[in-house]
Amino acid sequence: MLEEIWEKYQKQIIITGITVTIVVMFFCILVGAGRNDSTDKMIGNNLTSSSSSIQSSSNSATPMASGQDKETHAQRLASSKIMVDVKGAVKSPGVYEVKSGMRIMDAIEIAGGMTK
């Protein structure tokens, strides 16, 4: 009985199997790529907004009169340390000290990296 069905619908079964396989692979690729892109965008947006607020608050808090003051202020900003609270899907969430200019991925690596 199965042999009769196979003989009668062989082309349709093969075409359906190939189509289903392609659709599943396409879906997996899109879902995987979407997760990475959205994660990168989210990390980039958070980093940009926090960097902007730090720069604007530090610029408004310290009036600068001469070129030497600007140079000293720039050196202080470059060598300053920042406390970062790393939460979420990391191995060791917590508050970590990072240097000014480090990337968010550096803070994630300090926290032991991502769990997945």
Based on its alpha-carbon atoms, the radius of gyration of the chain, rounded to whole angstroms, reads 27
Question: What is the widest separation between alpha-carbon atoms in the chain?
Answer: 94
- In terms of domains, do 46 and 100 share one? no
| Structural domain range at position 111 | 74-116
Write down the pLDDT at residue 100: 80
Model confidence at 116, pLDDT cuts 50, 70, 90, reads confident
Per-residue pLDDT of 91-111, as tens digits, reads 989 999 888 888 888 888 889
- Is there a domain that residue 69 lies in? no
- Is there a domain that residue 89 lies in? yes
Write down the pLDDT at residue 10: 93
Per-residue pLDDT of 29-86, as tens digits, reads 888 776 655 555 555 555 555 545 555 544 554 454 556 666 676 666 666 778 889 9
Model confidence at 22, pLDDT cuts 50, 70, 90, reads very high
- In terms of domains, do 80 and 33 share one? no
- In terms of domains, do 99 and 52 share one? no
- In terms of domains, do 80 and 38 share one? no
Contact 45, 37 (CB under 8 A): no
- Is there a domain that residue 66 lies in? no
More confident residue, 2 or 74: 2
Q: Map tokens 């902007």 to a residue.
A: 52
The neighbouring-strand residues paired with 104 are none
Q: State the Cα–Cα distance between residues 103 and 67, nearest whole angstrom.
A: 28
- Is there a domain that residue 68 lies in? no
- What is the per-residue DSSP string for 60-115? HHS---SHHHHHHHHHHHHH-EEEEEE-SSBSS-EEEEEETT--HHHHHHHTT-B-
Contact 82, 97 (CB under 8 A): yes
Task: Return the structure tokens found at 105.
Answer: 């991925």
What is the domain count for the chain? 2
- In terms of domains, do 56 and 83 share one? no
